[in-house]
Amino acid sequence: MSAQRFYAGCSMLFLIGLVLFLGTVPGTQAAAEKLRTENIIYVMMDGVRVQEMFGGADEELLPKEGGAAELVRMRYWRETPEARRETLMPFIWKVMAKEGQILGDESKNAGVMVTNGLNFSYPGYSETLCGVADPRVDSNKKIPNPNVNVLEWINSQKKYRGKVAAFGAWDLFPFILNRDRSGLLVNAGYEPFTQGKITPAMAVLNRCKENTIRYWGGEPFDVFTYETAYEYFKTAKPRVLFVSLGEQDEWAHGNRYDLYLQSIQLADKCIRELWETAQSMRQYRGRTTLIISTDHGRGLGPAWTGHGKDHPNSAKIWMGFMGPDTPALGVRENTGTIKEAQMAATVAAFLGLDYRQGVPNAEPPVPGVIGSAR
């Protein structure tokens, strides 16, 4: 054998070995495949417990007296956890859980945990969207987040510039996403929407925000946030749409379990509408991944209204995924504990992007949510 042929053979063997090796490295197999996701719809519901997500209405917390108690029980109580959760969140459990994946069921060794140790909103949203639990983010004060977030990072990529939008009920989102630094389109609280074309529907929404009673100060009812986001979604057609709803946490703090349940059911309806609208539009149909999650959990029993480091159960959360690149595994099992901070890199990975190239200390993507097309 000539030296030239010998070295050529060695080079070929090396390349084959390299391909086989890369196929065993976590995350590289999905990256090597042709992903079909071109758009992301990501909806968060503030402070929704794993108890309701996986078991529906909690009988201990249902109203016990008066006609309202009977009505609430009729609406939400069913004999099995599976029936209760389908009644509370019909789209998530009848569609998303069957065509995608839901994580967070500890009984199946698939828990999802907050790792910032604080278990309240600003640190939770920051951990979720930035991919790190930063000890500097330790309050709900209106302080610009020093961390880069995944929406900002995606928006910095040439392909997605100006095509990422965030809508939040809570008026802290301009600070959580550091709007002044990031340049993201962020509309939050009672802010009127003023960017780009203002449709007649958007003009009405702006007037309603200005003229409604401000029950929670800086946070409107979810209908204002959702309808603003929905109108923008239909007209501007962003590649990445982030929506955060907040009534769930507000009604919980007010000890209104009936309205907490109703707000969850209404959020499920909004998620269904976004998904079905996406499937009716050429840009999104078959090319969109839907993601849902929460920022923190809540306490147990009488302490269900609260959350924080003194309520260990409030560190337990959940997340869900559905789209053309997510295997239909239903309620995930035997994943071990997933971290809230893994969401940021997962969002980017659906678009074929490696978030940790820009944020090296971010947690890696959630394993198994991106794989062979179903």
DSSP output for 244-259: EE-HHHHHHHTT-HHH
pLDDT in tens, 232-268: 999 999 999 999 999 999 999 999 999 999 999 999 9
Instruction: Give the model's pLDDT for residue 28.
Output: 40
pLDDT in tens, 336-353: 999 999 999 999 999 999
- Mean pLDDT, residues 173-193: 98
Instruction: Give the model's pLDDT for residue 165.
Output: 98
Instruction: Give the model's pLDDT for residue 372.
Output: 64
Instruction: Give the model's pLDDT for residue 66.
Output: 79
364 CA to centre of own chain: 16
Kindly compute the dihedral angle of the four CA atoms of residues 98, 101, 105, 111, in this order, to the nearest 10 degrees: 180
Least confident among 23-32, 204-213, 315-324: 23-32
pLDDT in tens, 262-309: 999 999 999 999 999 999 999 999 999 999 999 999 999 999 999 999
Q: Who contacts 231 (Cβ-Cβ below 8 Å, separation ≥6)?
A: 199, 201, 202, 205
Q: Break the chain into its structural domains and give their ranges.
A: 1-32, 36-357
Tokens of 164: 């990422």
pLDDT in tens, 129-145: 999 999 999 999 999 99
In the block, residue with structure tokens 């009604």? 251
Q: Which residues of 177-203 are buried (b: 16+ CB within 10 A; e: fewer)?
A: bbbeebebbbbbbbbebeeeeeeeebe
Residue 24 reports pLDDT greater than 50? no
- CATH class given for the domain over 36-357: alpha beta
Helix (H, G, I), strand (E, B) or coil at 291: strand
- Mean pLDDT, residues 109-132: 98
42 close to 166: Cβ distance less than 8 angstroms: no
Mean predicted lDDT score pLDDT of the chain? 92
Separation of alpha carbons 228 and 212, rounded Å? 15
- Mean pLDDT, residues 78-87: 98
Residue 16 reports pLDDT greater than 90? no
pLDDT in tens, 34-67: 899 999 999 999 999 999 999 999 999 999 987 7
pTM for this prediction: 0.91
Instruction: Give the model's pLDDT for residue 25.
Output: 36
Question: Which is more confidently placed, 150 or 31?
Answer: 150
Strand bridging mode 164-168 / 330-331? unpaired
